[in-house]
């Protein structure tokens, strides 16, 4: 059953709280995750919220990665959406999980765009 896109939804709990509030660190982490899975980076947008929390997205030729963090809970939601066979989104998931020092994480894999075509 072919799908156009693979979408990994990461729940990252028990993360390092300081890291979750550090825009620069998170930007580097998301860009590293994109690079290590073989993606071509096209653009990015990051925002830090008051009093805490960061949202960021990296647009790649193969779709996108995003992260939203709640430092007060040690929690981050991260998604890796890719299309094509040239990238390995699982590697990006491993990079993010490791960099955020998540002690309790889970992942859901969704197939997007399952069509009635070969």
Judged by CB under 8 A, does residue 105 bind its own copies?
A: no
Phi and psi torsions of 92, nearest 5°: -60, -40
Residue 85: how many CA atoms within 13 Å on its side-chain side? Answer: 1
83 is catalytic: yes
- In the block, residue with structure tokens 């990665």: 65
Binding positions for its own copies, 38-57, rule CB under 8 A: 42-45, 47, 49, 55, 57
Task: Give every CB contact of residue 61 below 8 A, 6+ residues apart in sequence.
Answer: 39, 40, 42
2-10, 17-25, 31-39, 88-96 -> range binding its own copies (CB under 8 A): 2-10
Judged by CB under 8 A, does residue 66 bind its own copies?
A: yes
Judged by CB under 8 A, does residue 31 bind its own copies?
A: no
Instruction: Enumerate the active-site residues.
Output: 63, 68, 83
């Amino acid at each position: 059953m072919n799908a156009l896109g693979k979408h990994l939804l990461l729940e990252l709990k028990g993360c390092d709280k300081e890291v979750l509030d550090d825009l620069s660190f998170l930007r580097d982490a998301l860009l590293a995750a994109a690079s290590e899975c073989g993606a071509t980076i096209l653009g990015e947008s990051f925002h830090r919220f008051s009093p805490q929390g960061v949202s960021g997205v990296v647009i790649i030729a193969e779709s996108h990665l995003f992260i939203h963090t709640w430092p007060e809970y040690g929690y981050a939601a991260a998604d890796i959406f890719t299309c094509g066979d040239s990238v390995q989104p699982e590697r990006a998931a491993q990079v993010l999980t490791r960099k955020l020092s998540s002690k309790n994480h889970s992942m859901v894999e969704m197939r997007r765009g399952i069509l009635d075509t070969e």
